[in-house]
Amino acid sequence: MLWWFIRQLILRTITPSKVVAMRILLTGGAGYIGTHIIVALAANGHQSIVVDDLSNSRHSAIDRVESIISAPVVFHHSDLRDTDRLLKIVEDTHPEAVIHLAGLKAVGQSVAEPALYYDTNINATLSLLKVMEATQIRRLIFSSSATVYGDPETLPLTESSRSGIGISSPYGWTKAMIEQILRDVAHTDPSWQFSLLRYFNPVGAHESGLIGEDPAGIPNNLMPYVAQVAAGRRNRVNVFGDDYDTIDGTGVRDYIHVMDLAQGHLAALNHLSPGVATYNLGTGQGTSVLQLISAFEQACGHPIPYQIAPRRPGDVAAMYCSPAKAGRDLNWQATHTILDACRDSWRWQSTNPDGYPA
Ligand code: NAD
Ligand code: UD1
């Protein structure tokens, strides 16, 4: 503990004067993206307080983060919807800003169990807002998603592209609804400072290989599935459709390295201001399924078996953003390539074939 205080003092001395070290509450901070954000926050002298119910993560992920940053992370095992408990945590820990990641994110499950998704994602957010209101914390960064754009009319997607129409899953609707709730709340009281970050497709892992994406069961998303095929845990990748109007007929997405995404949160934190600001966090580059498989083959050094399968219902042909607004307003841009992401994902997968220890 003493070392932690000494380190904080050193960091405060060497951190550029514009950046003030803060205490940040991360809801859902034990998950894939949250753990990477804690590392980026610590590198800039900020201290993280995590509230997570571990419904889709393990405490051992926090242990790994602590070993990367050589400092303790304050952790509270709690459901965000337990408002009394959350209030007590916030009163005890005094965060100055919140990064709100907690929620359920499996698209297919949300179609099967919509009420669970609306209850968890919406009520967790309302509980958090009540506690922030009561404790006069006014700064919040929200994990939104490119899914709010539905089926894109034109590419690249900008923040003013049509959103909140034609969304293909209850999960996606919860993101659009939470965005609207935050806009409405900001409208009633101009002291709120909200940043809505629309993530494109987060991939990769911290370069240490100690933390990464650890999906429960069969991965729904492409990159973790490819990584498990590369590791021999699954036989082959099913490529969902090869007859789209894209470069090689397979689906195109904007894959963003999770550490670039984490840096985007730091940039958003440093630029919070009254009202609501919305940003696309992506690279601006589209990559097809076959291009991603090819990059992963380069990263792992052996061929990855795949077969063409029918299109997945609800999928769009291509989705990528213009990250220009984040570049202009936040002075942020992605720096990692898709090959970097594949290499880091492979390091994590090959050194942790079964994910985090129980
Ligand atoms: P994740 O599942 O790894 O992390 C979410 C964390 O929230 C988990 O640790 C889970 O245990 C926790 N949680 C869930 N319900 C909770 C509750 N009621 N109370 C407290 N904790 C709760 O997911 P992730 O990939 O790290 O995503 C983080 C956020 O970013 C989510 O809101 C997700 O919807 C959003 N997002 C993710 C992606 C992606 O592809 N990973 C893309 C766009 C947006
Ligand atoms: C999916 C979700 C989206 C969510 C995002 C989180 C759907 C319809 N969309 O987006 O709401 O915000 O995850 O990251 O589920 N693919 C294969 N084989 C696979 C898996 C995927 O070919 O085994 C293809 C898909 O058809 C798509 C691309 O790979 O073209 C990326 O898929 P995925 O990683 O699931 O992300 P999204 O579909 O963009």
Q: What is the pLDDT of residues 134-163, one digit of tens each?
A: 999 999 999 999 999 999 999 999 999 999
The helices-and-strands tally (H runs, E runs) of the chain is: 13, 13
Mean pLDDT, the chain, rounded, equals: 94
Asked whether the predicted pLDDT for residue 246 surpasses 50, the reply is: yes
| Every domain of the chain and the residues it spans | 22-203+256-282
**Residue pair 23/42 in contact by the 8 Å Cβ criterion:** no
* Proportion of the chain above pLDDT 70, given as a percent: 95
Asked whether the predicted pLDDT for residue 14 surpasses 50, the reply is: no
How far is the C-alpha of 118 from the C-alpha of 131, rounded, in Å? Answer: 20
pLDDT for residue 19: 61
* Proportion of the chain above pLDDT 90, given as a percent: 93
Range 257-283 average pLDDT: 98
Q: Cα-Cα-Cα-Cα dihedral of 327, 139, 164, 51, to 10°?
A: 110
pLDDT band at 8 (very low <50, low <70, confident <90, very high): very low
Going from the Cα of 34 to the center of ligand 1, the distance in angstroms, rounded, reads: 8
Range 29-33 average pLDDT: 98
pLDDT for residue 20: 80
Asked whether the predicted pLDDT for residue 240 surpasses 90, the reply is: yes
Range 44-58 average pLDDT: 97
Out of 171, 199, 279, 356, the active site residue is 171
Query: pLDDT tens digits, residue range 19-30?
Result: 689 999 999 999
pLDDT for residue 2: 42
> Of the residues 51, 52, 79, 171, which should be mutated to test ligand 1's pocket, given the most ligand atoms within 8 Å of the CB?
52
pLDDT for residue 146: 98
Atom 30 (ligand 2): residue with closest C-alpha?
251
Among 143, 183, 171, 154, CA closest to 277: 183
Pick the CATH number of 22-203+256-282 from 3.30.1370.140, 1.10.645.10, 3.90.1260.10, 3.40.50.720: 3.40.50.720
Range 37-45 average pLDDT: 98
Alpha helices in 44-155, H assignment, sequence order: 59-69, 83-93, 107-112, 114-117, 123-135
Q: In this structure, how many other beta carbons lie within 10 angstroms of the beta carbon of residue 260? A: 23
Q: Which two tokens stand for residue 273?
A: 């201001």
Going from the Cα of 143 to the center of ligand 1, the distance in angstroms, rounded, reads: 8
Query: pLDDT tens digits, residue range 78-102?
Result: 999 999 999 999 999 999 999 999 9
pLDDT band at 15 (very low <50, low <70, confident <90, very high): very low
For residue 157, give the amino acid letter: L
| CA 171 to ligand 2: nearest atom | 11
For residue 50, give the amino acid letter: V
How far is the C-alpha of 252 from the C-alpha of 319, rounded, in Å? Answer: 6
Among 211, 176, 49, 189, CA closest to 129: 189
pLDDT band at 197 (very low <50, low <70, confident <90, very high): very high
Range 53-65 average pLDDT: 98
pLDDT band at 5 (very low <50, low <70, confident <90, very high): very low
Asked whether the predicted pLDDT for residue 231 surpasses 50, the reply is: yes
Regarding the beta carbon of 175 and ligand 2, being less than 6 Å apart is answered no
| CA 313 to ligand 2: nearest atom | 8
Query: pLDDT tens digits, residue range 119-131?
Result: 999 999 999 999 9
Range 240-254 average pLDDT: 98
Query: pLDDT tens digits, residue range 300-326?
Result: 999 999 999 999 998 999 999 999 999
Atom 6 (ligand 1): residue with closest C-alpha?
28
Going from the Cα of 347 to the center of ligand 2, the distance in angstroms, rounded, reads: 22
Please confirm, yes or no, whether 171 is among the known catalytic residues: yes
